Amino acid sequence: MREAVLRLSGVTFSYDRHPVLEGIDLEVAAGEFLGLIGPNGSGKSTLVQLSLGRLSPDAGSVYLFGEPVEKFRKWHRIGYVSQKSNSFNLGFPATVYEVVASGLTGKLGLFRRIGKKERALIRDTLERLGLSDIAGANIGRLSGGQQQRTFIARALVSRPELLILDEPTVGVDAESVNQFYRLLDRLHREEDLTILLITHDIDEITAAVDRIALLNRRIRFCGTPQEFAARRGEVLWVEDGRDVSHASRVPGEEIRV
């Protein structure tokens, strides 16, 4: 297995003494596409915030590119798309080009002007994601699928080695979701991009990812899509005919593994 880009070791975290994550051991290898699934309230977004150093674990350690997250400073190596990216005010005064360009701030700093090299990066990224024709459009007036591609472009413009996406398909129509997964597959295969995708779309990710991890306070399963398919009925707790990934659960309830 290739070197771990992201590693969580024995990570535990609580909000107001309520355990959210317990003893999390998880690695994302360089060049891997990992899908992280789990029910609402299972700790998926908390795991992302810990991975980005925005929260500190109560116990355990988080490493990015082999370095403790609290010491990590090369944030341009990571692209991040949050689950709130598509919730945009229609009057937000920024174009697609400006939103994508803002993704270079972490690499350039707040006060360095965008130069010829950076403008070429922006144009190339817009073209790669099929946004060149709408580069001058107001971001708030785009469709959900177009906004989604814009924020992925923003995350990719600095040429990160790891792309983290937290529930990126929420509120996006089915056709845009299909295009989104085709785009991720191309980025993963053609550019060897490491991807951590947090999602509820179990059926969609099965055909795209290298491994699936099922989280509900602890890692309940981690393996290939084929292994997941073989054990799906065992590792997913079904309530009223629904997979656990689509059901809200009472805190403290456990998946029957």
**Residue 224 pLDDT more than 50?**
yes
Rounded to whole angstroms, the Cα distance separating 99 from 140 reads 11
Rounded to whole angstroms, the Cα distance separating 157 from 128 reads 10
Q: What values do phi and psi take at 47, rounded to 5? A: -60, -40
Q: What pLDDT was estimated at residue 246?
A: 40
Between 227 and 146, the more confident residue is 227
Residue 6: pLDDT band with limits 50, 70, 90: very high
Which long-range contacts link 106-113 to residues 24+ away (Cβ below 8 Å)?
106/75, 106/76, 106/158, 107/76, 107/158
Angle at 89 between CA 87 and CA 91, to 5 degrees: 155
Identify the weakest region by mean pLDDT among 8-12, 14-18, 105-109, 194-198: 105-109
Distance (Å) of CA 175 to CA 37, 139, 149, 164: 21, 19, 13, 22
Residue 181: pLDDT band with limits 50, 70, 90: confident
Residue 233: pLDDT band with limits 50, 70, 90: confident
Q: What pLDDT was estimated at residue 242?
A: 45
**Residue 248 pLDDT more than 70?**
no
Report which secondary-structure segment, H or E, holds 231. Answer: helix 225-235
Find all residues with CB under 8 Å of 128, minimum gap 6, and list them.
153, 156
Q: What values do phi and psi take at 212, rounded to 5? A: -120, 135
Q: What pLDDT was estimated at residue 108?
A: 58
Q: Which CATH architecture has domain 4-84+161-246?
A: 3-Layer(aba) Sandwich (3.40)
Cross-strand bridge partners of residue 162: 78, 194
Quote the mean pLDDT of the chain.
Answer: 84
Model pLDDT for residues 117-162, shown as the tens digit of each residue: 889 999 999 998 889 999 999 988 888 888 888 999 999 998 999 9
Model pLDDT for residues 7-62, shown as the tens digit of each residue: 999 999 999 889 999 999 999 999 999 999 998 889 999 999 999 999 999 999 99
Report which secondary-structure segment, H or E, holds 189. Answer: helix 174-191
